[in-house]
Amino acid sequence: MVEPFDRRVLDVGDGHQLHVEQSGNPDGVPVIVLHGGPGGGCSPYMRRFFDPSYYRVVLFDQRGCGRSQPHASVEANTTRHLIADIEIIRSTLGIERATLFGGSWGATLAVAYAEAHPDRVGAMVLRGVFLGRRSELNWFYGGGAARFFPDRWAEFQAPIPEAERGDMIAAYHRRLFSGDRGQETRFAMPWLVWENTLAGLEIIGAGHAPPDYARTFARLENHYFANGCFLEEGQLLHNRHRIEHIPAVIVQGRYDMVCPPSTAWELAKGWDKAELRLVPASGHALSEPRIAAELVRVMDGLRDGTRQS
C-alpha cells in the first residue's frame, strides 16, 4: 500500500478543519479524489488506482466526516462550501489544474466543481454517476429500488411509523437530527444498511459499521438529500456546456441499483469528449472487481496518453 508523503490539517473557515493527504509522486500529475456519501470519508483503498510514480494523488475528508472536524457537523456544510474547499486545497497545494476522480456523490461534486471552475480541471474520471436530482432521490428513497429489494426496503421502513413512510428522507431527518445522540445513532444504522446492501451485486457485511461512522454518514447524507444536494433541480445537466471541452471517462456498473446507468447515459449523451464505459455484471461499489479494474485501466490510459479499452 502506498503511504502518503504529506498529511496536514487545513483550516477552511466556518469552524471546519479538513484532513488532507498526498501520496505518489510529489512532482507528478495532480489528481484530486472526491469521496462519496456525502459523509463517506476517504480510505487508504482509494490510493490504489493510481501509478505512484506518475500521479500526485490528493485525498481529503469533506466537511464533517472522516478525520475532518467537527465530526458529523452540518453547520456551514453545503455543496457551495465543498466547492470552495476544493479551491482552497488546490491553491494551498500549488496545483494549477487537476484531474478529478470521483464516484457517486464524488461524481456529483466533481461535476459541480468543474462547472464552477472549468479552467482548473484537466480531465475527469467519474464512477456511478449521481446528479442530485429529485428523480434520482425518488428512485432510491421513494420505492423505485424497492421493487428489486422488497425485503430490504421493508427493513428500512420498519423503524418509521406507517403514516410517515411517504417521505422517508424527511422521516429519517427528524430522527437523525433529534438532538438525542442515542436515537440518532439507532436510526443511522438502518439508513446506512439500506444503501450498503444495494451497493454491490452481493450483500456482504452490510450491517457492520462503527456506530459513530454510521451516525456521521447518515446525518451528512440525509442533510444533503433533504436539501436537494443544495443544487437547483437539473442544474448539473443544464450547465454541462461549461465543461464539454474537458475530456472525461465515465465508468458505470450495468446493474448499479444505487445510481442507475440512465443518469450516466444522460450526462454523457452529446458530450463529445466524454466516454461512457458500461461495466458488465457490476453494481455501484468502488470495490467491485470489474469496476476497480476498469478504473485502473482508465488511469493507466490517461498516463499513457491513450484510452485503454
Instruction: Please report the DSSP string for 56-67 in residue order.
Output: EEEEEPPTTSTT
Is 201 a residue whose pLDDT tops 70? yes
Mean per-residue pLDDT for 144-173? 97
Query: Within 10 Å of residue 200's Cβ, how many Cβ atoms?
Result: 22
Question: CA 309 to CA 297: how far, in whole Å?
Answer: 8
Domain with CATH 3.40.50.1820 in the chain: 6-134+230-304
Cell of 84: 470552495
Task: Indicate whether 3 pLDDT > 50.
Answer: yes
List residues bridging with 275 in a β-sheet: 249
Residues with a known catalytic role: 104, 256, 284
Note the CATH number of domain 6-134+230-304.
3.40.50.1820
Give the pLDDT score at 186: 97
Q: Which of helix, strand or coil describes residue 273?
A: coil
Strand order of the sheet with strand 98-103? 6-13, 16-24, 55-60, 29-34, 98-103, 121-127, 248-253, 274-279
Query: Residue 209: pLDDT band by 50, 70, 90 thresholds?
Result: confident
- In percent, the amount of the chain with pLDDT more than 70 equals 96
Burial 46-64 (b: 16+ CB within 10 A, else e): bbebbbbebbbbbbbbbbb
pLDDT tops 50 at residue 28:
yes
| Greater pLDDT, 1 or 251 | 251
Taking 90 as the threshold, does the pLDDT of residue 309 lie above it?
no
Q: What is the structure's pLDDT at 306?
A: 65
Q: What is the Cα–Cα distance from 65 to 38, expressed in whole angstroms?
A: 9
| Phi (first) and psi of residue 7, to 5 degrees | -130, 140
Range 9-29 average pLDDT: 98
pLDDT at 117 (0 to 100): 98
Tens digits of residue pLDDT in 45-94:
999 999 999 999 999 999 999 999 999 999 999 999 999 999 999 999 99
Burial class (CB in 10 A: 0-12, 13-18, 19+), 291: buried
Per-residue pLDDT, 204: 54
Summarised one tens digit per residue, pLDDT across range 92-123 is 999 999 999 999 999 999 999 999 999 999 99
Instruction: Give per-residue pLDDT as tens, 161-174.
Output: 999 999 999 999 99
* Average pLDDT in the chain: 95
Backbone phi and psi for residue 37, each to the nearest 5 degrees, phi listed first: 125, -110
Region 154-181: mean pLDDT is 98
- Tell whether the model's pLDDT for residue 207 goes beyond 80: no
Are 231 and 132 spatial neighbours (Cβ–Cβ below 8 Å)?
A: yes
CA distance 84 to 117: 10
Question: Given this model, what pLDDT does residue 56 score?
Answer: 98
Beta bridge partners of 251: 127, 277
* Helical spans, DSSP H, in the chain: 79-92, 105-116, 134-141, 150-157, 168-176, 181-199, 211-226, 235-238, 261-268, 289-304
For residue 203, name the pLDDT band (cuts at 50, 70, 90): low
The band of 308, judged by pLDDT with boundaries at 50, 70 and 90, is very low
For 157-181, letters b (16+ CB in 10 Å) and e give: beebeeeeeeebbebbbebbbeeee
